[in-house]
């Protein structure tokens, strides 16, 4: 087989990689801000840190237009069905970031009503530590998510067939 010299500006890749590359730079976040972390989320969108440099500035308040759910703040048991419903209203492909100690673990709010980590009830891709996380940390989580999308995202969602994705998540019981 002859080796063909590629002209300049031509790359060969798989369609999966190309689509994942496109998806990763056009995330539309859904701000699910329930508490103080939401303020830092707003700061991340403001001009000083400017999340649009990473292609994720199109905050939409309808889940049907979004593909990235940013859960910023604690979620109580009464709110969890709402969160799940919003998550289900988002179209695939979609991702979820748990922003802050509260969304990731319940934080200091170890009380009867606060869900101890949203990952017990909905899938989470990236966790951001901090109380609240600085905008830089949130942007780092976005960059991490972009890397994750580019590494494993496929057009038809074949990455979900991986054995590591088959483990059933169960809520922890006390």
Q: Of 25, 46, 136, 171, which lies in the binding site for another protein, with binding defined by CB under 8 A? A: 171
Q: Is 138 in the site for ligand SF4 (CB under 6 A)?
A: no
Pick out residues in 6-35 that bind another protein (CB under 8 A). none
Q: What gap in Å lies between CA 113 and CA 6, rounded to an integer?
A: 61
Q: Which is nearer to ligand SF4, 66 or 128 (CB)?
A: 128
**Measured CA angle at 103 (ends 102, 104), to 5 deg:** 90
Q: Of 100, 116, 135, 141, which lies in the binding site for ligand SF4, with binding defined by CB under 6 A? A: 100
Q: Residues 46-85 vs another protein: string with x where CB under 8 A?
A: ------------------------------xxx-xx--x-
**Closest approach of ligand SF4 to the CB of residue 171, in Å:** 20
With contacts defined by CB under 8 A, how many residues of the chain interact with another protein? 29
Q: What gap in Å lies between CA 96 and CA 76, rounded to an integer?
A: 18
Q: Residues 79-118 vs another protein: string with x where CB under 8 A?
A: -xx--x--xx---x-----------------xxxxxxx--
Q: Which is nearer to ligand SF4, 36 or 80 (CB)?
A: 36
**161 preceded by cis ω (within 30°)?**
no
Contact status, residue 91 vs residue 67, Cβ threshold 8 Å: yes
CA 106 distance to own-chain centroid: 18
Name 172's Cβ contacts closer than 8 Å, sequence gap at least 6: 116, 120
* Range list of β-strands (E), the chain: 29-33, 68-72, 95-99, 126-128
Q: Is 19 in the site for ligand SF4 (CB under 6 A)?
A: no
- Taken in order 111, 99, 32, 62, the sign of the CA dihedral is negative
Q: Is 73 in the site for ligand SF4 (CB under 6 A)?
A: yes
Q: Which positions touch another protein (CB under 8 A)?
A: 76-78, 80-81, 84, 87-88, 92, 110-116, 120-123, 160, 165, 168-174
């Amino acid at each position: 087989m002859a080796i063909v010299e590629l002209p300049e500006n031509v790359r060969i890749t798989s369609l999966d990689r190309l689509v994942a590359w496109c998806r990763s730079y056009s995330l539309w976040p859904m701000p699910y801000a329930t508490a103080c972390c939401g303020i830092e989320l707003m700061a991340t969108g403001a001009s000083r840190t400017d999340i649009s440099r990473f292609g994720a500035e199109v905050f939409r308040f309808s889940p049907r237009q979004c593909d990235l759910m940013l859960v910023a703040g604690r979620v109580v048991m009464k709110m969890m069905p709402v969160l799940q419903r919003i998550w289900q209203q988002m179209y695939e492909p979609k991702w979820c970031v748990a922003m802050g100690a509260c969304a990731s673990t319940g934080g200091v709010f170890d009380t009867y009503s606060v869900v101890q980590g949203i990952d017990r009830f909905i899938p989470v891709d990236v966790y951001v530590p901090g109380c609240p996380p600085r905008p830089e940390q949130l942007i780092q989580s976005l960059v991490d998510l972009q890397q994750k999308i580019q590494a494993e995202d496929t057009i038809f969602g074949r990455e979900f067939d991986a054995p590591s994705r088959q483990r059933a998540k169960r809520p922890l019981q006390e």
